[in-house]
A and B are shown apart, each in its own frame.
Chain A
Amino acid sequence: MSDPQGSPIRRDHPSPLVAPVLVELGSAGRATSTFTLDAAEPLLAGHYPGFPIFPGVCLVECAHLTALGAVTAGSATPVELAAIESARFLGPVFPGDTVHTQTVAEAVQDGWRCRAELAAEAPGGGPRRQVAVVRLRYGAGPA
């Protein structure tokens, strides 16, 4: 199996995505990321044949990986996704689009709550379209 550029796939965690979600950590629990949806991303072959469209859960995956970066950076113990409190899908993401994710994490009594806003940018630039708003909760993972 190879990635969209033909190189062997390398991942550091199980994921539906092959191309990387590139996360940059900010301050005060903030993080941003970009993910460019290559037309050769393997999951598009099955979602759907002849009509490739990025699955809504993969937008949640972008939000999760971005928020997890911010949450684990501030934690000495492992954390894991405890809940998707809500997700609203506001528009489609097609091959070639870049997904820009902004998250902010807040420590709560038993973990962290994160809010993510996701926008898509068509190839060649242009205005960003809001595509999803996701709220996630994290708790302590296995030690």
Chain B
Amino acid sequence: MIDSAGIQRLLPHRHPMLLIDEVLEATAGESLVAVKAVTADEPCYAGLPEGGADDAYPPTLLVESWCQAAALLACLDAPNPDVLTGRVALFGGIAGLRFSRPVRPGDLLVHRARLVRLFDEAAVLSGTSEVDGVTVLEVEQVVIAFREAGEFAPGAGGADAEAARTASGHGR
């Protein structure tokens, strides 16, 4: 439904941190389903010992990938792929992320994100990630904060925190 080129018109993330391949379903203001194929060629596997046993995809990258699906949902109506102007989506806070089994090369991640609340300056989302219909990640709550890019330059620290606090004060 939205291919990689379309995703790059919605999100500012680029290689090696663009962690969504395709959006399968999207209903603005409600929900989104997106996929990412995990491969042995991911940059996170570069430089590992030959024949090393540990090939689990880093849980933090799994979370980032899910959050990019969430960010796509949060900005479907007002995308801004240029972080130098306009509003930027930032990670405000997360709560209740549970990992139920490791993700490995060859797995196709299916991220499901649901918009819980939308504020002027933040969005609250929840959802899951699955591989072959089995849940690998449950997300109770992620807060994405929107800030003007100009406010968020080096030296303007903490701007995102304010929005996150505002959102968590109203959310849930």
Report which A residues bind B (CB closer than 8 A): 1, 8-16, 18, 42-43, 45-51, 55-58, 60-61, 64, 80-92, 94, 129, 131
Contact at B157–A16, with CB atoms within 8 Å? Answer: no
Contact at B16–A43, with CB atoms within 8 Å? Answer: yes
Contact at A82–B48, with CB atoms within 8 Å? Answer: no
Contact at B91–A55, with CB atoms within 8 Å? Answer: yes
Q: Which residues from chain B contact A51 at a C-beta distance below 8 Å?
A: 12, 83-84, 149
Contact at B54–A57, with CB atoms within 8 Å? Answer: no
A140 to B84, CA, bound (A): 44
Q: Which residues from chain A contact B45 at a C-beta distance below 8 Å?
A: 14
B63 at the interface (CB under 8 A from A): yes
Query: How big is chain B's contact interface, by range?
Result: 35 or more
Contact at B47–A10, with CB atoms within 8 Å? Answer: yes
Q: Which residues from chain A contact B94 at a C-beta distance below 8 Å?
A: 84, 86-87
Number of A-B contacts (CB under 8 A): 136
Contact at A12–B48, with CB atoms within 8 Å? Answer: yes
Report which B residues bind A (CB closer than 8 A): 12-18, 42-49, 52, 54-61, 63-64, 67, 83-84, 90-99, 102, 149, 152, 154, 156-161, 164
Contact at A45–B47, with CB atoms within 8 Å? Answer: no
Contact at B63–A60, with CB atoms within 8 Å? Answer: yes
Given contacts A15-B58, A61-B60, 17 further A-B contacts (CB under 8 A): A11-B47, A11-B48, A16-B61, A18-B47, A42-B16, A45-B14, A55-B64, A57-B64, A82-B99, A86-B96, A87-B94, A87-B95, A89-B92, A89-B161, A90-B161, A91-B161, A92-B152
Least Cβ–Cβ distance between A94 and chain B, in angstroms: 5
In the A-B complex, the 4 residue pairs with the closest CB atoms? A9-B47, A56-B91, A46-B17, A91-B157
